[in-house]
Amino acid sequence: MRAVERHTSHVVLKGVGGGVDRMTHVMIAASAVVRAGALGVHVEHVGIAHAPQAWLDLGNGGLEGIHRAFVVTVDGPVTGAYSCGIHNFGLKEVRVPACAPDRTSVVGILTRHLLVKGARIAGGQTISIGGKSNRYRFCDVQTVTAPDGSMFQHQVGTWQLVRADGKQ
């Protein structure tokens, strides 16, 4: 931490996302900066930071590592859980309501299946979470528009899970 507090410069890598190949190139470029002596990697638009060796380990972890490097789950007791970062791969973010059991795990599992396993989701498709009585339906929603130039701005959209029975 002392080294981070004393740092006097930083390198910003910007790349065009939209697919696994493009994000793999960003991962490789950041790994080169780490090997040159960087103190770590901060994925700004996601709000996650990785120590040098952790970043290199993620880079050697294939799609699983890339997923963990660039995608996080944010949880709120009222808003529910949602992913941040999967849009960089050209995929829709995922939002699970607060009433869903194990909502943070569900977000992580869904984003992993979308990115690593190549799963497909269709609007109206349903899944069960925590038992047959807990059915949820996927709704294709546009992401709330962020101010132009915001690091959170993206046009990909979100898969939002809603209770299939209409209850809140």
CB neighbour list of residue 3: distance below 8 Å, 6 or more residues apart: 39
Q: Residue 114 above 80 pLDDT? A: yes
Residue 134 pLDDT level (bands cut at 50, 70, 90): confident
pTM of the model: 0.85
Averaged pLDDT for residues 87-103? 92
Which of 7-11, 20-24, 88-92 has the least mean pLDDT?
7-11
How many Cα atoms are found within 13 Å in the side-chain-facing hemisphere of 41?
28
pLDDT at 166: 77
pLDDT tens-digit series, residues 40-72: 898 887 888 899 999 999 999 999 999 999 999
| The pLDDT of residue 84 | 92
Of 112 and 157, the structure prediction assigns the larger pLDDT to 112
The predicted structure's pLDDT at residue 77: 86
Distance (Å) of CA 22 to CA 15, 17, 19, 64, 88: 8, 6, 5, 16, 9
Give the pLDDT mean for 78-91.
Answer: 91
